[in-house]
Chains A and B, each alone.
Chain A
Amino acid sequence: MKEITYAKAVSEAIDEEMARDENIVMLGEDVGFIGGNFKASEGLLEKYGDMRVKDSPISEQGLVGMGVGMALTGLRPIIEIMFSDFMLVAGDQLFNQMAKIRYMSGGQVKVPITIRCPIGAGRSSAAQHSQSLQAIAAHIPGVKVVLPSTAQEIKGLLKSSIRDDDPVMFFEQKMEYNKKFQVDDIVEPIELGKARIARAGTDITIAATSSMVMKSEKAAEKLASEGIECEIIDLRSVVPLDRQTIIESVKKTGKLIVADEGYERCGIGAEVAAAVAEDIFYYLDAPCGRVCNPNVSLPFSPALEFPIIPSADKVYEKVKTYFK
């Protein structure tokens, strides 16, 4: 066991993977010399050299497209997009090329690329730098969507994402980078598509992504003192989605809420609730709910931003509405 930051867990994962597979290269803005805008690739340039840890110009489309070309010709590229907001700049290469080439080729090729991008609000970064756009990625067939929670989780999930032969969009939570976590000395890859029960409970199921897992845990502590025991599922990935774990949990609790930081409309909450709806209908005691960002762009002022972003308090309040 050791205590490291979330960012360090990322760089360790990349480091350990690069060490075992020389086909892994990473490109992105500021990933090399300064070790990444969020320090998630510190020390890697020194270790692996310029061609494997490439500081690149601000060319999201070009970067992702090059990543696709590299993936088609035998490499396993990691492309960093500095904010998930910018994935829209590379939209064509991500969602028309990367996601579809395998399908359009009739399965002739695989595209083993990992796109890393940070999500999350809470730094007064305003509307264009605070979004959590995993729902967009999840919507397009051919893209796997991974949302790690803790540093332990991110290390294991990044390893398996890099080793995955399908395109993976890997969403890191920017507010967590500097936080310290307890992490095992050796972290094995975590299988994609298997959710984790972060907290067992009997009264309500909270299916959460990314840092909403930790926020839900905080809310769960307060709720426990009021006699409400929450079961928290760390979904880990939305594509593929571990439906079975959610279904088993709701059979027990009869209630489901989904906590995700994206916008409410057509978000992860809507998808998860619909994806399990048929299987949990007769076990439901109340309709499914969601805790997420409202349908507004993220405002700049802390007086506006903090009250609207999904927080531990919001999870707490939402759960309470089920237990009048």
Chain B
Amino acid sequence: MELKGYTKKQIAEYYKTMTTIRRFDEEVFELYKQGLMPGLAHLYIGEEAVATGVCAALKGNDYIGSTHRGHGHLIARGADLNRMMAEILGKETGYSKGKGGSMHIMAMDKGILGANGIVGGGIPIATGAAYMAKYKKTDQVAVSFMGDSSTNEGTFHESINMAAAWDLPCIYVIENNLYGISVDIRDVTNTPDLSVRAKAYGIPGFSIDGNDVTAVYETAKKAVARARKGKGPTIIECKTYRWQGHHVGDPAVYRKRKSETEKEDWMKKDPIKALSTAMISKNMFSTKEINAIDAEVEKAVMASVKFAKESPYPDISEAYKDVFISDELI
């Protein structure tokens, strides 16, 4: 990994963001194992570079649309860890007062259009935000994060087709971690590189190493600039891998079908390790400095765990609110 052209601040940011995502999702897993987490969570562990790199290319008021595996996107965009963790535990202090949970966290103040429980469900929504930006000429862009398997949903096709036809400022980031739950994308799609689909829409498509945060950043930066110039959308396929199963508690036996050591092989390509190694080897940072960042992250993540654990559950009356603007219309 080359760190040329990056400031220390930038690299520190990337490292901190990725480590925060890693530690946060590890703690989510712990809470799940302790039985404190209702429902399921879908962990981003191993994919940190994608969210970090893309979001680093965005401005404050740009939009992102996320997926069910959205903790990484949310953290990379600057969402509040406390409110995230509280929401994941179903507490009143969560972003959605406990009504959304892990898959539906939304934080409009950070431009986060929301995680989405429906595969491909968020793609047209992000595209709509881009339409608004173009109509209102706000200079904003929207990023639509999606998994490899959602590229087979109709919404992928419909949304990118319209974005391409109308030059909407939207960037479509495919996180290809090879699996849709247990189904290998390579078995159900004829093109190993999903970015080739961009050709169908007459837009640029790139397939890159999703575990190289700088590569992600560079590609995203170009795509964002293109969009902001009004030139239309781009597809960026980030090749990466999730270390945990599809959801917490998924033993992921399907991994071993193609290779016994698939997970281990990918873990060797840990994006955080790759960066920290470069940070040291390029003499940008000392181990002590990296440890300091680790400690900071640790503190923040554990604080969010404590906050979430100690927060109260919402009152039952909350269930009857927010269906409509007026709570009397139910």
Contacts and interface: CB of A to CB of B under 8 A. Distances in A.
Instruction: Report if A and B touch in the complex (beta carbons < 8 A).
Output: yes
A165 B329 CA distance: 13
B96 A106 contact: yes
Given A57-B158, A165-B325, A103 B99 contact: yes
B162 A66 contact: yes
Interface in B292-323: 321-323
Nearest to B160: A62
Contacts of B118: 92, 96-97
Contact of A62 (B134, B159, B330): B159
A169 to B, nearest CB: 13
Contacts of B117: 96
A67 B114 CA distance: 15
Nearest to B127: A66
A110 B108 CA distance: 11
A10 interface: no
Give the residue among A66, A75, A97, A103 with the most B Cβ atoms within 10 A.
A66
A106 B97 contact: yes
Interface string A52-82: 1010110101111111111111110100000
B31 interface: no
Contacts of B128: 65-73, 77
B324 interface: yes
B124 interface: yes
A51 B94 CA distance: 37
A105 B113 CA distance: 10
B117 to A, nearest CB: 8
Contacts of B126: 69
Contacts of A137: none
A56 B95 CA distance: 35
Nearest to B128: A69
Interface of B: 63, 65, 94-100, 104, 106-108, 113-114, 116-118, 121, 123-136, 142, 154-155, 157-159, 161-162, 165-166, 321-325, 329-330
23 contacts: A57-B161, A59-B161, A62-B124, A62-B161, A65-B121, A65-B159, A66-B131, A68-B125, A68-B128, A69-B131, A70-B129, A71-B128, A75-B132, A75-B136, A93-B124, A102-B322, A104-B99, A105-B100, A105-B322, A106-B322, A109-B106, A141-B323, A166-B324
